[in-house]
Homo-oligomer: A and B are copies of this chain.
């Protein structure tokens, strides 16, 4: 194994000079820098990660904690992970993969052993049990998602409020006057995450601003047919719906068809969901996507700032991006 002293000898300089040439932490004359670089290349030198971590108190590794629970959209998680790895590499960091299964212990472990020097935690819940730990751990951390009290933490997520608004505004532009939101199952609103409520806020505010009539329906998986019937019964003027429920999107579109409603001729449908899903419905759905790659990138960049001591905002909301597909059209007055 070739080490820093080998490089130093070959370049005719001291080890510290090699180290500084590598880190740029002190000025090196152009000439020495060149000699050092040559020596490094000729010998194929690569600094030993462990030695670096020990002496430099930085492992250049960050941990990514991925969720396992049922109901998670696996391709989304994977894309997020890939984006984190790619971005981390651009910043000369590697990524250690942790599963949620290890829980809080896993976090203390990698922190205490100095295996990693920063943390990205996905799928943060409103009352996430890891929060107290994360607050005391004093490892730079970025959360994906917003807990109930995000004070003192750094959180990133899609701007779900704006996503709700975007859907409504899209429908408004198409002339629709009466809209409904098909939301997540009731327990999601109560227990889990903040994003469901945010969508509702955005949806309702935008509808009010546009003077549209609107209704909101938290909705169980499997209840597609019931909800579709209920909508027709209770809101006969309805011509636009926003679906924020991955499991229900397909079945709902099917149910509308069964009830003789053509999409988009009779009913325009928008959704907040992974593009993949929107594309694979029987009618491709106009949707606001979860900008996985962008969120991953932002998370890593925030972490890098924190690592070099820069202050970062507590909350980062990634703006929604809407893709128009076949499921929305102008309101046809009959």
Contact residues of A with B, CB < 8 Å? 44, 46-54, 59, 61, 64, 66, 68, 74-75, 77-79, 81-82, 85-86, 89, 94-99, 101-102, 109-110, 112-115
In the assembled complex, the Cα of A46 lies from the Cα of B53 at a distance in Å of 15
The 6 closest A-B pairs by CB, nearest first: A50-B53, A46-B112, A50-B54, A49-B115, A49-B113, A74-B75
A96 to B66, CA, bound (A): 13
Contacts of A94 in B (CB 8 A): 96-98, 110, 115
Q: Which residues of B contact A112 (CB under 8 A)?
A: 44, 46
Q: Which listed residue, B77, B81, B97, B114, touches A50 by the CB 8 Å rule? A: B114
Q: Are A114 and B48 in contact (CB under 8 A)?
A: yes
- Cβ-neighbour of A86 out of B78, B79, B101, B110 (below 8 A): B101
- In the bound complex, do residue B99 and residue A85 qualify as a contact, i.e. CB atoms below 8 Å apart? yes
The CA-CA distance from A39 to B26 in the complex, in Å, is 42
Taken together as a complex, chains A and B put the C-alpha atoms of A61 and B99 apart, in Å, by: 15
Query: Smallest distance from the beta carbon of A138 to chain B beta carbons, Å?
Result: 12
Cβ–Cβ contact B98 & A85, under 8 A: yes
B85 touches A97 (CB 8 A): yes
Instruction: For residue A166, give the distance in angstroms from its CB to the closest CB of chain B.
Output: 27
- A113 close to B74 (CB less than 8 A): no
Contacts of A51 in B (CB 8 A): 50, 54
Nearest to A76 among chain B residues (CB) is B74
- Determine if A81 and B109 form an interchain contact, defined as CB atoms under 8 angstroms apart: no
Residue ID in chain B nearest A106 by CB atoms: B89
Query: Would you give the shortest CB distance from A94 to chain B, in whole angstroms?
Result: 6
Query: Which B residues lie within 8 Å of A99 (CB)?
Result: 82, 85-86
Nearest to A89 among chain B residues (CB) is B102
Question: Which B residues are in CB contact (< 8 Å) with A68?
Answer: 82
28 inter-chain pairs at a CB distance below 8 angstroms, sorted by A residue, are A44-B112, A46-B109, A46-B113, A47-B113, A48-B114, A49-B53, A49-B114, A49-B115, A50-B50, A50-B52, A50-B59, A50-B114, A53-B53, A54-B54, A66-B82, A74-B74, A74-B75, A74-B78, A74-B79, A78-B78, A82-B99, A85-B99, A86-B99, A86-B101, A89-B102, A94-B96, A94-B98, A94-B110
Report how far A78 CA is from B99 CA in the complex, Å.
11
Minimum CB–CB distance from A88 to chain B (whole Å) comes to: 9
Question: Told that A48-B114, A54-B54, A94-B115 touch, could you supply 6 new A-B pairs with CB distance under 8 A?
Answer: A77-B78, A85-B98, A85-B99, A86-B99, A86-B101, A95-B96
